[in-house]
Amino acid sequence: MGWLGGCVLPDRRAARQAGLRTALGGEGLDGLLVTHLPNIRYLTGFTGSAALLLVRPDEAVLVTDFRYATQAPREVGESARVEIDAASVWQRLLKQLQDRPLDTLGVESQSLTIRDAERLSGAVKGRVVPTTEMVERLRAAKDPQEVQAIRCAAALAQDALAEIIPGVGVGRSEREIAADLESALRRRGSEWHPFPTIVASGPRSALPHARTSTRVIEPGDWLLLDFGAQVDGYCADLTRTVVVGRRADERQKAVYELVSLAQRRALEHLRPGMTGREGDALARTVIAERGFGDAFGHSLGHGLGLEVHEAPRVAATAETPIPTHAVVTVEPGIYLPGWGGVRLEDDVYRGPDGPECLSDNRTELVELV
């Protein structure tokens, strides 16, 4: 069971595991060894930092260590049988496979190390088969409780930004502002920061994934803030760009309005059935037609959930349809080296009736004078 806003949420773990077993059957697999921790949390509710999950046709077995002897049974409940091993979780897992062999065992190729793959191959009797994102594909479509958790995380992040904005001004450093924002996020209930907060000022705002620095804000600087919150394990991811110290000049206004226009077009027209490439083109075409195509070098968005970057992708290279009930970011940007950059990012639920913005989409140009 998860908790959100003080209410007990419906337990979806059995349905998720059933969906995974159906997918395994379709691939001719008798079981799956889950090693990616967000996938383990999705299937069992376990939030610890060390575990292996063996999903068989008739049961799931979670193996963890002594540190979680109390926590694991409480979190996992009846979703899996818990095995605790004080010496080696891998030895305990291998014993499970030796006692009840599987003819064909799938493994998560994106997270299993070569060393552990060799350990499996040398110890189990059946075939070990690499798989790709079997659980992640299930995670791409969110249930109502997951959507609500992301909505709450976005609201928390917005409130934290509103709290610290009055203290943003010329003479303050990027790190000072990041510290204020991260403190406000934690005070308001964020479980952690889903990624290192980005605060980039002046020409450094042209670095799409800048590392927050000691640079001090100067009059007329862009200030780009990319930050998130986490509620019940689920992530929100927002970006806002403001001008500090004086009114925006004409060039700043024009670039900002172009990014805002591109985002509005994507937010209004994202629909179920679109591929990631088609979704990306909604915003990219607007920017390219105005001559800034080369200045928008990253994808339009990515999935949100237990990880801040997960399936599906909204990118020019993504031919896979974005599933109904996915939550994705919409974050066009223009980055001009030596001058600065603008990015606007909101979190969007792709429901059957069209897109719904889970964040406030308050992207009017803010001038902190």
Give residue 125's pLDDT: 84
Same domain, 274 and 148: yes
Give Cα 169 distance to the centre of its chain: 30
Q: What is the mean pLDDT of residues 323-335?
A: 97
Same domain, 24 and 40: yes
Beta strands in 245-359 (DSSP E): 301-303, 310-314, 326-330, 333-336, 340-343, 346-351, 354-357
Give residue 119's pLDDT: 86
Confirm if 345 and 355 have CB atoms less than 8 A apart. Answer: no
Same domain, 54 and 179: no
CATH number of the CATH domain containing 17: 3.40.350.10
pLDDT > 70: percent of the chain: 98
Give residue 9's pLDDT: 56
Same domain, 134 and 151: no
Same domain, 110 and 218: no
Same domain, 111 and 151: no
Give residue 25's pLDDT: 96
Give residue 194's pLDDT: 95
Same domain, 9 and 104: yes
Residue pLDDT, tens place only, 3-30: 354 444 579 999 999 999 999 999 999 9
Q: What is the mean pLDDT of residues 47-65?
A: 97
Domain extent for 52: 3-138
Q: Domain ends where: 115, 138, 161?
A: 138
Name residue, tokens 């996915």.
326
Same domain, 330 and 276: yes
Separation of alpha carbons 137 and 134, rounded Å: 6
pLDDT(207) > 70: yes
Q: What is the CA angle 96-12-62, rounded to 5?
A: 15
Confirm if 209 and 327 have CB atoms less than 8 A apart. Answer: no
Residue pLDDT, tens place only, 141-190: 999 999 999 999 999 999 999 999 999 999 999 999 999 999 999 999 99
pTM of the full predicted structure?
A: 0.94
10: DSSP letter? P
Torsion of CA 25, 26, 31, 34, to 10 degrees: -140
Give residue 290's pLDDT: 97
pLDDT > 90: percent of the chain: 91
Same domain, 228 and 334: yes
Residue pLDDT, tens place only, 280-306: 999 999 999 999 999 999 999 999 999
Give residue 89's pLDDT: 94
Q: Domain ends where: 118, 138, 158?
A: 138
Q: What is the mean pLDDT of residues 333-344?
A: 98
CATH number of the CATH domain containing 252: 3.90.230.10
Same domain, 61 and 186: no
Residue pLDDT, tens place only, 58-72: 999 999 999 999 999
Residue pLDDT, tens place only, 83-137: 999 889 999 999 999 999 999 999 999 999 999 998 888 788 889 999 999 999 9
Domain count, the chain: 2
